[in-house]
Structure 1
Amino acid sequence: MKKVKQVFSGAETATNGVLSERVLPRAEHGISRRDINDNALKVLYRLHNAGFEAYLVGGCVRDLLLGQTPKDFDVVTNAEPEQVKALFRNCRLIGRRFRLAHVMFGREIIEVATFRGHHQEDESLGKQSSHGQILRDNVFGTIQEDAERRDFTINAMYYNIADFSIRDFANGIKAIEQRKIALIGDPETRYREDPVRMLRAIRFAAKLDMQIDDATAKPIKTLASLLANIPPARLFEEIIKLFISGSGLKTLRLLQEYHLLDPLFPILTPLLNDPNSKENAFLEQVMRNTDQRVNSDQRVTPAFVYAALLWFPVEERCQTLMMEGGFNSYDAFNLAMGDVLDRQIQRIMIPKRFTSVIREIWQLQQRFPKRFGRRTYQILEHPRFRAAYDFLLIRAEIEGGELEILAQWWTDFQQAKPEERKQMLTALRNNESAPPKRKRRFRNKKPPRQ
């Protein structure tokens, strides 16, 4: 964390009796414009020059104070979305629940939000469900009201482009120094407004290596079931943030600790009751490997993580279909894949571009043991071979036995020269009986149903 002076010489004013504001002049914090994205600065300055207030807010301010490079730079202003759009030709307005302006610079987007206010009686602007969840939220207000509407104290800090000061409304600096994740306001009320805040608390604690404040942590287990009210499409994006941020292993353990995995993956959690089980060991190793790849700037696909999270439910469902339904292993496995994905999509919407990859990773696990002639080369040339092979390696590492022998064979086969590959296949054929050729069967057509 960059050095922040402990003396606050700026103004301290009451905010509706709830929050108090502290202003840190430029000399008392370590944020420099050199660390701020150029396009974010363009947006800030154009808003400021047009007579509007303009601030960096939330995670980017927090990360800059921690000495980290922010992933995104979010801007907040007193300009309403239509006024922002009028200032930027490269702007589009999005969202119904939250009306936002996206200012686009090629593939980069700077998100601009208007200060949020407190809810009014007008349902066309703000609306809540019977559970207290916010369904619509286009009520605009002041910066003080916006700070009260922020979720965590570490996210209620504003960098002012007008004088380069930081306005801290909820002792966010202190929370960073204490390494505490704490909600603003009553935790139960805030979780009911938006249950995803429970997942955000977990994500920040894992990502920033901080502890969740006792008062903030206490209601989570009781209110975990409220995640069932979140649209499946929104949960998909949240899961990506949880597991593909470089701290997936810590995240997995915290989700289990606070009973948040069950409302997200109800078909998985019954298999994780034993902390020493192969299922737990497998998932932890997948998360450990994923964290290493993310932190090394290597590519990671969400499909691999989902394939791992749902692998053992597929295996269990396959066994059930074989024992109770009388299906052969091939048909049972194909049916199991469909059943598990259909059930999971009811909770978390997984786009088809990922479910197709998930299926291919799983199907290759069934094909890997079948190493006969041309079939082996077809597997090797499969577009998902590398992901499926990595999946096999983790399975072998955890389960050992025949899987370990199989994984080593495929490792050797990839590294072997063409002639050596032929010798490996010949040796395999001599040691194992080739699969019997299927006899063509002719069946009489069944009479049509009457």
Structure 2
Amino acid sequence: MRPFRRTTTPTLPTSTLIPRADHPISRKDISRGALHVLYGLHEAGYDAFLVGGCLRDLLTGVPPKDFDVVTNARPEEVERLFRGARVIGRRFKLVHVRHRGEIIEVATFRALSDDRDDERLVKLSKDGQILRDNVYGSIEEDALRRDFTVNALYYDIADFSLHDFADSLHDIEQRTLRLIGEPEQRYREDPVRMIRAIRFQAKLGFELDPATAAPITAMAPLLAQVPAARLFEEVLKLFLSGHALATLDGLRAHDLLEPLLPLTATAMRDKDGGVDLTFLEAAMRNTDRRLADDKPVTPAFLFAVLLWPAVRRRFQRALDQGMPPVQAMSKAAGDVVVQQVNRVAIPRRFSSVMREIWDLQLRLPRRQGQRAAQLMEHPRFRAAYDFLLLREEAGEIAPGLGQWWTDYQDADPETRDEMAQQVRRPRGPELAEPETDDGQRRRRRRPRRRRPAGGGSTDA
């Protein structure tokens, strides 16, 4: 028996039918793959609709990145209908249909599950989170299962009409992001909806409906129930959708940084938290610029940035305990990664690159002789250099080193040799030598080791 119960059975909505002449969506705006799937289902006698974000984006002037289809055909029927189709997922069964390099996701209309449903098809946690749901129903039930009203429009390939079940067009026109149903229940069913709300708010520039926003801060701890692997994908969507800076602001405003990046959130609350915020904001602006210019941003670099506030504090703590710099960085990085992957599962192929970027922050100041040329050959040099520039921009370290490396990369071989020969050997662990109030470098003093009388071992 499951402790969680729905207290009421929702009334099924009726749709407002908007004929083709009264809306701007045209087949020429729909991908060839999506049309292939829609017409294939329709010609086989099934209902076929475009649904969700693609329609929302078309109505707001944003080119859709993908097109999702819903139908009354079961997943196995869809799979049999299209060559190259395959059923995926256990939590929610879907079908991926490949057409000329494009993947179209096809879902079957979902029903409103209740406690009478077969445990093999529906499973809820004790808090009401949906763990598995493969009960199929009608288009009206499917509309109630959508998360936000702006995602509850359906485009019918049979007559090119729009079906609006949740006053979706009104909310799109008013630029309002509103949950369908009672917000607390919807967040319990799937806590990821809280961070989806922030992502859509940032992406669309919409305002969160007050009732949708109100429970988020109190319910944020529910994200701890979400599998760490799923949260990794959600964090990538949050920060790699071209609106990273607005996303960061939204997460902070609703206390959602803590459940996703607890070590970073803790670090930012101390007296040096302003530097970290400046660093993260600079990194998010840089991320948005790169994506706008169609340049890549790797997950490794993103997480190296997001976790740096915690790493640098643990590094300093290890130094203060007398640990050598390289060992201190290794310990700090290891501790942070181990704790973070319990919340957001960062794959090893990314965490190893993160650690290289952090390690190179120690090596970049040590550029005398042949070291500069050797560092430039390192496969992570460019990422570490970009990371260094962000640290300078945030005021974490004094300016100068980043410009030196910029000039060095642009110089000819002879000039590079001259630049490297003029570099003085740095003193201390050059993650950054802090400055005194008068702007002068403060030299770190290593504790003197006392030699035992007679020169013998200090062991007892």
TM-score, length-scaled by structure 2: 0.88
Give the counterpart of 2:319 among 317, 322, 338. Answer: 322
Aligned positions, number: 418
Look up the SS of the partner of 1:30 in the other structure.
coil
Amino acid at match of 1:426: Q
The alpha carbon displacement at 1:296 in A equals 1.8
1:210 corresponding residue in structure 2: 206
Of residues 163, 180, 183, the one that matches 1:184 is 180
**CA–CA distance in structure 2, aligned partners of residues 293 and 131 of structure 1:** 40
Counterpart of 2:422 in structure 1 is 427
Alpha-carbon separation, structure 2, partners of 1:401 and 1:305:
20
Aligned equivalents of 1:233 and 1:401: distance in 2?
Answer: 34
Q: Cα RMSD over matched residues?
A: 1.8
In structure 2, the CA distance between the partners of 1:121 and 1:383, relative to structure 1 (3 Å rule), is same
| Aligned counterpart, 2:92 | 98
Please give the secondary structure, in 2, of the residue aligned with 1:19: coil
Deviation at 1:276, TM superposition (A): 7.0
1:76 is paired with a residue whose SS is: strand
Deviates more, 1:359-368 or 1:187-196: 359-368
Aligned to 2:299: 302
**Candidates 52, 61, 66, aligned match of 1:67:** 61
Residues 1:410 and 2:408 aligned together: no
1:433 CA displacement? 8.8
2:32 is aligned to 38
Q: What is the letter of the counterpart of residue 277 of structure 1?
A: G
Distance 1:432 1:388, change over 3 A: closer
Answer yes or no: is 1:135 the counterpart of 2:131.
yes
The residue that corresponds to 2:21 in the other structure is: 27
**1:76 corresponds to 2:70:** yes
How much does 1:374 deviate?
2.2
Aligned-partner SS, 1:268: helix
Residues 434, 285 of structure 1: alpha-carbon distance in 2 compared, 3 angstrom cutoff:
closer
Aligned residue for 1:111?
105
Task: Tell me the equivalent position of 1:331.
Answer: 327
Q: Deviations over 1:99-126 (max 9, x none)?
A: 0101113542110000000114311111
Shift of the alpha carbon at 1:271?
Answer: 2.1
3-state DSSP of counterpart to 2:235? helix
**Paired residue for 1:277, among 268, 274, 283?**
274
Tell me if structure 1 keeps the 8 A contact 2:275–2:396: no
Letter of the structure 2 residue corresponding to residue 207 of structure 1: K
1:372/1:434 contact within 8 Å kept:
no
Cα deviation digits, residues 172-203 of structure 1 (max 9, x gap): 10000111100000000000000000001000
Q: Secondary structure at the match of 2:295?
A: coil
- Whether 1:52 aligns to 2:46 is yes
User: Relative to 1, partners in 2 of residues 1:394 and 1:16: Cα closer, same or farther, differing over 3 Å?
Assistant: closer
Shift of 1:351: 1.1
Shift of 1:252: 0.3
Structure 1 partner of 2:4: none
Could you tell me whether the CA contact under 8 Å between 2:300 and 2:350 is conserved in 1?
Answer: yes
CA-CA distance at 1:434 after TM superposition:
13
Contact 2:88 2:94 in 1 (8 A): yes
For residue 131 of structure 2, give the secondary structure of its aligned residue in structure 1.
Answer: strand
Length-normalised TM-score, structure 1:
0.90
Kindly provide the CA deviation profile for residues 339-372 of structure 1, in whole angstroms up to 9, marking residues without a partner as x.
1001000000111221122111111111101112
Query: Take 1:432 and 1:117, find their aligned partners in 2: how far apart are those partners?
Result: 66
Following TM superposition, the consecutive aligned residue runs of length 4 or more in structure 1 with deviations greater than 4 angstroms are 431-435
